Each structure stands twice: as structure tokens, then as C-alpha cells.
Amino acid sequence: MTCPDVERLIDAYSDDELDAAQATEVAEHVAGCPACHEWLAERVALRRLIRSVPYYAAPDRVRRAVAASRRRARVTRQRLAWAAAALAVISLGSGAMIRTVRARQTAATTTALAQDVVASHVRALTDAHLFDVRSSDQHTVKPWFQGKLDFSPPVEDLAPLGFPLVGGRVADIGGQRVAALVYQRRQHTISVFIWPAVDGAGAPADARSFRGFQVRHWTRGAMAFWAVSDLNDLELDQFVHALQG
């Protein structure tokens, strides 16, 4: 399946209107195509925004105008979506409300990603598949990702600080292929997931605990970082501070 095929089917896919075979093909393409993955994420976010707006019955004059426009021309799904988004923004009525909705969306997205990175960390531990490349040499690990990802992740060895690099692998987070670096602190494993930040934008640092694991999220440069470990808060924060520096 190609990008134009996904463009034609993306709305039906996000609305669960495709049959199983087509849905699988779209999902496989999106998983390996950052552009289509970002496009799908935008469409999903748009639908969430529309659903979060209170419902108001349209006046009769608006209903008559819509009926007349349907007789004049066929409105495409994409135009209808943008029209609905415009009406949603107008109905919100204030910049403060828009910021509130966006903040909720960002929080929901961050929570979903936190769950994904913890699940990936746990799977790697359970399946004993922490490494695709096992090495403490950052000059071995970094080149290994070439050709396997469409970006070059920063790789640092923090052995002098007590957090040696032990290897890396390719992981799947939120439907996209990302770099996963593996560090060690005594008997504790730290997974660091890295991928390009959306539009290269920064984001507030985030710290939380989930399923018994400590999770840290931050951005540096054009990259998003997620660190996951059962290490205690103090030592994990020391590790994160070293990577941020």
C-alpha cells in the first residue's frame, strides 16, 4: 500500500469503516511511514477535538442552507471535517477554552505514550530481548541504527557516572519505529526510547509512576526522550539530568 492509497482510505480507517484486510494494510503502512503516522495522529486529534465540543442544535436557517448546499454540490469528507472543526472553534468562543481542550489532548497523548513505553520495557524484560545490538561502545551502537530508522538517535555512554550503556534495539511505540537504548545501574535496567519530536517542538518535562515503574519524559533539541526503569526516583533523576546535560 502506498501513501496515496492511505490518503484515500485514512478517514474510513480512523472511523473503523474498512474491512479487516484493508485495515491491516493501512496499519502496516502507517507503522512504517512517519508522514502517514503523523497525518493519522492529526486526524484522530481533530476528531477528539470535535467530540469534546458541546452539542448545539443548528437553527432552521442553517439546516436549510446545508440542505441547499447538498443539492448544489457533493461535499467531500475532508471539507466537511474542516468545516466542523471551524464551527467547533467558533462555538468554543474563547482562546482559554481552546487552550484547555488542547491541554487535555496533550495530557491524554502523554499518558498513552507512557503506557506504551512501559509496556515495551516490560516485554523486553519478559522476553529477554533487551538488545538487537549489545555493546558498551556508543560508537558501535549509534551506527547500528543506520538504515533501520529514518533518523539518527543521539547515543551517550554514562559509565563514568555509574550508568553504563549496554546496548540498543528498535522498538515500536505508538505505531512508529523508535530507538531504544539500554543502560544499567547495578541490577536495574533503564530503557531510553528516542524519536523525533513532533515539528521539533519542545514539551514540558513529565515524571510519573506506572505499573511499579518510574517514567520520565523530556525533549532535547529535535528529539523526544522517554526513560523507564524500576530504579528509585533519586537515581533515575540523576540519570535523566546527565542525559539532558
Whether residue 190 sits in one domain with residue 226: yes
Residues facing residue 212 across a β-bridge: none
Are 127 and 58 within one domain?
Answer: no
Report the predicted TM-score, pTM, of the whole model to 2 decimal places.
Answer: 0.58
Count of domains observed in the chain:
2
Q: How many Cβ atoms from other residues are within 10 Å of residue 207's Cβ? A: 14
CB within 8 Å of 12: residues ≥ 6 apart = 18
121 and 205 both lie in a single domain: yes
Encode pLDDT of 170-221 as tens digits: 999 988 899 999 999 999 999 999 999 875 445 567 888 888 899 999 998 8
> Which residue range is the domain that position 28 belongs to?
3-99
Are residues 120 and 89 part of one domain? no
Instruction: Name the band, by pLDDT with cuts 50, 70 and 90, for residue 81.
Output: low
Is 104 part of a structural domain of the chain? no
Q: Reduced to 3 states, what is the DSSP secondary structure of residue 85?
A: helix
Domain boundary among 52, 77, 99: 99
Element housing 33 (H / E):
none
**How far apart (Å, rounded) are the C-alpha atoms in residues 133 and 131?**
5
65: which 3 cell numbers? 442552507
* Residues 189 and 90 placed together within one structural domain of the fold: no
Please say whether the beta carbons of 226 and 114 come within 8 A: yes
Q: Report if residue 48 sits inside a domain.
A: yes
Are residues 58 and 27 part of one domain? Answer: yes
Element (H, E) at 73: none
| 236 shares its domain with 118 | yes
Q: Do 120 and 95 reside in the same domain of the chain?
A: no
Q: Which position has the higher pLDDT, 60 or 202?
A: 60
211 vs 237, residue with greater confidence? 237
Q: How many Å apart are CA 222 and CA 143, to the nearest integer?
A: 19
